[in-house]
A = this chain, B = another copy of it.
Amino acid sequence: MKRLCVGLIGYGTVGQGVVKILKSSRAVFRKKYGCDFHVKTIVDRIIHKKPTAELNARYSKRPADVLGDPDIDIVVELIGGKQPAKSIVESALASGKDVVTANKDLIANHGIELFALANRTGRHLYYESAVGAGIPIIKTISEGIAGNGFDAVYGIVNGTCNFILDEMTTKQCSFADALKDAQRKGYAESDPTLDVNGVDSAHKIAILANLAFGKLVRVRDVHTEGITHISATDIAFAEQMDLRIKLLAIAKKDGRSLDVRVHPTLISTRHSLASIHGIFNAVYLKADKLGNAMLSGEGAGQMSAASGVVSDLINCANAPAGPINANNPEQVKGLTLRGIDNIECKFYIRVQAKDEPGTLAQITTILGRAGIGINSVQQAVHEVAAFVPVILLTDYTTERTLRRALNAIQALSNIKGKPVAIRMETLW
């Protein structure tokens, strides 16, 4: 029986979930995994809720009480954000402790230094809950399908956005109404900015790109668009064409270049990712040996995140001595990052066009001259209005080319407002 002494830094919702699991499952873990976790010290600025006495933990406001304690084998960092989390993790690794963290901000921004430090000190750094909470995405990429290279990773990694888009799809409501609903249900923060503007997803795809492609991708390298501009109109038109809008976090290799981006994306309603509903998360992997695979599940919430932390603890307890190289985002030679301007996509375009002869010809002429192929055109002929929506699905074209063409279309006298353009992905 391995007896492992745990120091917990950050005692919020997830930390309390972790303690709950370690307490309630202690007998099972001893029997099943041969390890006995003892939470010796819990650190937080304020301890709002002390666990019952049987846990027999010490409470402190000073991380040093964990970091300086030679008894403690594993530090669980759950305070989030860059600092003091970074210093805490560094100090723990440097003093010979293993670390489990759920901190996406830390891993996305400082993973490379921290993994290098863990390798130098021969310690483990586990971070399953940083992406998709307890869904074993990190474990799957690094171990579950070890031996595979990747062609692409597509993620629905923000439950708030997925809930909002799903609500807009099923209830045909506006973004604002769906957001209010998400807030009422506790699926969105009162300030939902970092979720709905895609920044949260950008952190997560940076982590996954580093891991899957062995290429350092910084958060600032990720082209990021959110979902605030998505309208119920476009969702409805898309559904008519068997397409569904999801906020996808994408890392895709094309030859020797890698593009990493987050944006609303139209995918086939028949694809598995289209059936990820509500606050669920999913990651769709194109692996070079296994083929296509998907993981999905509850990617947020106290017990899901706590589950990921506990799995990390168990795996850490049963890990071999020495560093795990698979976690290192090494610089792969010759793989370069491709900027958004040079990415080729198919596009969904909607323009509000004056319902008169010649308008469609003008639009298609502009696209044709730009070399943009058109796969389908649909005009809402039954609407009685001066301006009616025209929907065009293009063939592959670069962002740069498309944007120029859209500017030209917008300048036409018989067009109202700014054309809407949404990228499409063929995932099979």
Contacts and interface: CB of A to CB of B under 8 A. Distances in A.
A295 interface: yes
Given A275-B270, A293-B296, A140 B144 contact: yes
Nearest to A275: B275
A152 B311 CA distance: 19
Of listed A285, A297, A325, residue having the most chain B CB within 10 A: A297
A33 B146 contact: yes
A145 interface: yes
Interface in A288-320: 289-298, 301, 303-304, 306-308, 310-311, 313-315, 318-320
Interface stretch (A131-139, A189-197, A411-419): A131-139
A287 B274 contact: no
A324 interface: yes
Contacts of A143: 136, 139, 143, 311, 314-315, 318
Contacts of A5: none
A32 B150 CA distance: 14
Interface stretch (A23-31, A228-236, A256-264): A23-31
A59 to B, nearest CB: 24
A345 interface: no
A294 B295 contact: yes
A371 interface: no
Contacts of A289: 21, 134, 303-304, 306-307, 310
A73 B325 CA distance: 22
Given A289-B21, A301-B291, A304-B290, A324 B318 contact: yes
B147 A136 contact: no
Nearest to A320: B320
Interface string A348-379: 00000000000000000000000000000000
A272 interface: yes
A34 B275 contact: no
A264 B145 CA distance: 30
Contacts of A318: 143, 320, 324
A366 B320 CA distance: 63
Given A29-B147, A311-B147, A290 B294 contact: no
Contact of A307 (B147, B308, B325): B147
Given A33-B325, A319-B320, A298 B303 contact: no
A276 interface: yes
Interface string A265-294: 000001110111100000001010111111
A32 B291 contact: no
Nearest to A30: B325
A325 B29 CA distance: 10
A121 interface: no
A292 B271 CA distance: 19
Contacts of A29: 147
A149 interface: yes
A326 interface: yes
Given A32-B326, A274-B275, A275-B270, A292 B297 contact: yes
A339 interface: no
A135 B275 contact: no
Nearest to A291: B298
A319 to B, nearest CB: 6
12 contacts: A25-B149, A32-B214, A34-B325, A134-B145, A134-B289, A134-B291, A146-B310, A285-B297, A290-B297, A293-B296, A318-B320, A319-B320
Closest 7 CB pairs of A and B: A136-B144, A293-B297, A291-B298, A289-B307, A147-B310, A134-B290, A146-B314
